[in-house]
Amino acid sequence: MPQCGWGTNDSNMTNKLIGPFTQLLTMDKLPEKGSISDGQLEMIHNAGIMVDNGKIIEIGDYSKLKQKAYEQKIHIEYIDNEMVVVPGFIDCHTHICWGGSRAGDYAKRLSGKTYLEIAQEGGGIWDTVQKTREAGLAELEAITAHHANQLLAGGVTSIEVKSGYGLTFHDELKMLKAIKNADTPADLIATCLAAHILPKDFKGNADEYLLKMAGELLPRVKEQKLAGRVDIFVEKTAFTVDAAREYLQKAKALGFDLVIHGDQFTTGGSKLATEIAALSVDHLEACGNIEVELLKNSNVVSVVLPGASIGLGEPFAPARKLLDGGACVAIASDWNPGSAPMGDLLAQACIIGVYEKLTIAETLSGITNRAAKALNLSDRGILKAGKIADIAAFKTSDFREIIYRQGMLRPTIVWKKGESVLKRQPYKL
């Protein structure tokens, strides 16, 4: 655990040296696309991190940085256990703002019913929409913060959060305000997913609904700075490719970054994502050779969601094929009350790594620097001078243990913008 130098016990000083760390993985100098070998990981032994005002100002040999700290009277946050340090994890696709529970849906799936059958019976997303509409703003703020802090305890310092369980002008704004106001040290990056499904109580067809959302809701979201990203679910139970294209073009004209829920059960989402230059296409369980070819020749990030495969008992997205084809692959939890209720990013990344034969480097990259790319964030996901000091430290002397333990090795200390927001007593493996 950390101890403080220079006669103070204040670990929140803006200018300080943190260390020493047995191993420091920078996640720097890695290719943005394609496969990665473990040998490509840049590692610093006996490392220190110099932080000032929430940003990293220098990384290097701890002994040299310690001498500089003594000379300049800089606070030292001393780490007195063997620790491996990595960038704070980034969960680039979640739905952690919701009301109610879908345990009933889960039981039905275990009894043999499919996700689509349950949705047709009135369960699925629509069930959560009704519960979320009933919840007040304060309740949704508390729920979102609680979920975010659970992710933070797993080393996740930046979390994308979607709306999409409101599906009215009022309720979508309520969700986005709850995401903005949630009390958590983690950074929450909001995405407007008003185009999640066509709400059952909307008096009109899908085209009319999207027209209303694009014309009335999205300008208000932009005006109130509630989200900078717009998502749409392209699927038989949601919206067609043609309808999604028109909606996303309108969102792009308003200045939003574009994201697509695509190729979960049927294809079409990847092709659209490459046509409109979306930041990412997320899911990809139905992705085939044609989609791999499209994605490898684009700058669209392929976000795979192992939590949905686990929750639905469906095959994983073909992450190995995507990487070997030259695509950029990020990994996210898809934490939601229906198809992905686990909400453990590291465990899910480790599990898809086993089934898809991902290297440790590819798995870690998928939840750090490549996840940052999926969110269009260049200031995090790497430990390097000038980046935000989002850091996760694990009680081990070998970085491979983080993935080898398949989520059971939890971070002992997490720093958000250089301030420790989580401390656990270290334990033996």
What's the pLDDT score for residue 7?
28
The C-alpha atoms of residue 361 and residue 377 are separated, in whole angstroms, by 20
Co-location of 36 and 171 in the same domain: no
Co-location of 296 and 322 in the same domain: yes
Q: Give every residue of the chain whose pLDDT is below 50, as ranges.
A: 3-11, 429
Pairing state between β 328-331 and 391-394: unpaired
CA 413 to chain centroid, in Å, comes to 19
Domain span holding position 297: 90-374
Q: Check residue 302 and report its DSSP letter.
A: E
Please give the structure tokens belonging to residue 184.
Answer: 């958590």
* Residue type, position 20, single letter: P
Co-location of 364 and 396 in the same domain: no
Q: Are 391 and 377 in contact (CB under 8 A)?
A: no
CATH of the domain at 18: 2.30.40.10
What's the pLDDT score for residue 116?
79
Of 252, 251, 175, 241, which is closest to residue 211 (Cα–Cα)? 251
CATH of the domain at 271: 3.20.20.140
Please give the structure tokens belonging to residue 79.
Answer: 């780490």
What's the pLDDT score for residue 13?
62
The C-alpha atoms of residue 329 and residue 286 are separated, in whole angstroms, by 15
Coil vs helix vs strand at 421: strand
- Examine residue 79 and state whether it is found in any structural domain, yes or no: yes
Co-location of 194 and 309 in the same domain: yes
Q: Residues 6 or more apart from 242 whose CB is under 8 A from it?
A: none
The C-alpha atoms of residue 152 and residue 144 are separated, in whole angstroms, by 12
What's the pLDDT score for residue 2?
57
Our CA angle for 50, 51, 57, nearest 5°, is 70
Co-location of 274 and 166 in the same domain: yes
Domain count, the chain: 2
Integer angstrom CA distances of residue 370 from 201, 273, 308: 39, 17, 20
Flag whether the pTM goes above 0.75. Answer: yes
Q: For 328-382, how does the pLDDT look when each residue is reduced to its tens digit (9 = 90+)?
A: 999 999 999 999 999 999 999 999 999 999 999 999 999 999 999 999 999 999 9
- φ, ψ of residue 200 to 5 degrees: the values are -65, -25
What's the pLDDT score for residue 117?
86
Cα torsion through 203, 207, 213, 216, rounded to 10: -90
What's the pLDDT score for residue 425?
65
What's the pLDDT score for residue 119?
81
Integer angstrom CA distances of residue 140 from 6, 161, 261, 389: 43, 12, 23, 29
- Examine residue 29 and state whether it is found in any structural domain, yes or no: yes
Q: Could you tell me where the DSSP H helices lie in 84-136? A: 103-110, 115-120, 125-134
